[in-house]
Chains A and B, each alone.
Chain A
Amino acid sequence: DTGVSQDPRHKITKRGQNVTFRCDPISEHNRLYWYRQTLGQGPEFLTYFQNEAQLEKSRLLSDRFSAERPKGSFSTLEIQRTEQGDSAMYLCASSGRRSYGYTFGSGTRLTVV
């Protein structure tokens, strides 16, 4: 296991289209987190899973955002009807225990044109 993988690395989409990002965490990690990061800012927490349960989703930016983690393995983040303001880096991180810190993926950079 080489770390947290995110796919795709870059996504350019037209406004109004739906996009889906995938995150594969470190296999033994049961916690998985999604963040949005805009230029010059720190990561902004969106949602997290413990195994397959989504324990916090109130921070998702709007009802256009949704996330899933079927079977407690990989996760997907979907943005429907994309807007230019959705352009950002979307980061995924996983953790085995909250005290150990979080291993981040390289992120998916979304550009909405």
Chain B
Amino acid sequence: AQTVTQSQPEMSVQEAETVTLSCTYDTSESDYYLFWYKQPPSRQMILVIRQEAYKQQNATENRFSVNFQKAAKSFSLKISDSQLGDAAMYFCALGGLTFGTGTRLTIIP
């Protein structure tokens, strides 16, 4: 069975600072994809960044980057230069079937 664990229910960061959200997962598959999604309050979920397991290079999308440690089954999200619009629930996902319980990120002005 696949599992995704997000151990930080809530995080906060000062505007313009950097924050890292943690995610660990478990799967027996060798070929898989990992995603981070953002869900602002009362708004739909949007894809932030994706990582293909066979690629060693960490994915980067503007201010968002991941630290993918395949052996440790860890997939953390780093948000640089945090902005007020980054406030949301962030979900780590393994493929399309397994999501973590989410981390609520608060940005402090």
Contact = CB atoms under 8 A, between A and B. Distances in A.
Interface residues of B, number: 21
Mostly, the B contact residues are strand
A90 interface: no
Contact of B96 (A44, A95, A107): A95
Nearest to A6: B44
Contact of B47 (A44, A56, A103): A103
Given A99-B33, A103-B47, A42 B102 contact: yes
A62 interface: no
B44 to A, nearest CB: 5
A10 to B, nearest CB: 12
A33 interface: yes
A70 interface: no
Contacts of A31: 96
Contacts of B52: 99
A45 B44 contact: no
Given A45-B96, A48-B96, A93-B96, A102 B102 contact: no
The residue in B37, B46, B97, B98 that gathers the most chain A C-beta atoms within 10 A of its C-beta is: B97
20 contacts: A41-B101, A41-B102, A42-B93, A42-B101, A43-B99, A44-B99, A48-B96, A56-B97, A91-B45, A93-B45, A93-B96, A99-B52, A100-B50, A101-B47, A102-B35, A102-B96, A103-B47, A104-B44, A104-B45, A104-B46
